[in-house]
Each structure stands twice: as structure tokens, then as C-alpha cells.
């Protein structure tokens, strides 16, 4: 998921609802909402993204070489 977000900087969702829908779409609808929310929580814990009331701020780590 990190690689997808990293390679699509102009196509990143701007709020939590849009991010949930986006991740389900990227995973081709093969995952339920609860695992997607767990993934978002993990990304927040790892400081990859910060979700405020109105927007998401992305701080993606550099790709491994």
C-alpha cells in the first residue's frame, strides 16, 4: 500500500472516507471495511499519515533501494 501511495502522489485521498473507499478499490473490493480501517490505524501509528478533522497529511517514507 505504501508503494501505491508513493507512486500516485496526485491521486491520494484527502479525507478518511475517501481513503477507505480508495483502499477498498485498490484491493479490488476483496477486503471488508474493518481490515481497511485497521490498516489506516496502522499507517497512523507508523506516522505515514495524519488524519485531522478535514484532511489527511501524508509523510511517506522513502522507497527502499
Instruction: Say yes or no to pLDDT of 63 above 80.
Output: no
CB atoms within 10 A of CB 43: 21
Task: Report residue 65 as a C-alpha cell.
Answer: 533501494
Reading phi first (left if > 0) and then psi (alpha if -120 to 50, else beta), residue 29 is in: left
Asked if 57 and 50 touch (Cβ cutoff 8 Å), the reply is yes
* 62 — pLDDT class (breaks 50, 70, 90): confident
Domain ranges of the chain: 2-58
b/e burial code for range 18-35 (CB count within 10 A of at least 16 → b) = ebbebbbeeeeeeeeeee
For 20-54, the pLDDT digits (tens) are 999 999 999 889 999 999 999 999 999 999 999 88
What is this structure's pTM? 0.85
Q: What's the confidence (pLDDT) of residue 60? A: 87
Amino acid at each position: 500500500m505504501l508503494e501505491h501511495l508513493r507512486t500516485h502522489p496526485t491521486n491520494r485521498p484527502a479525507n478518511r472516507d475517501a481513503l477507505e473507499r480508495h483502499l477498498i478499490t485498490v484491493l479490488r473490493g476483496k477486503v471488508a471495511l474493518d481490515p481497511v480501517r485497521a490498516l489506516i490505524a496502522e499507517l497512523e501509528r507508523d506516522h505515514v499519515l495524519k488524519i485531522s478533522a478535514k484532511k489527511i497529511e501524508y509523510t511517506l517514507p522513502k522507497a527502499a533501494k
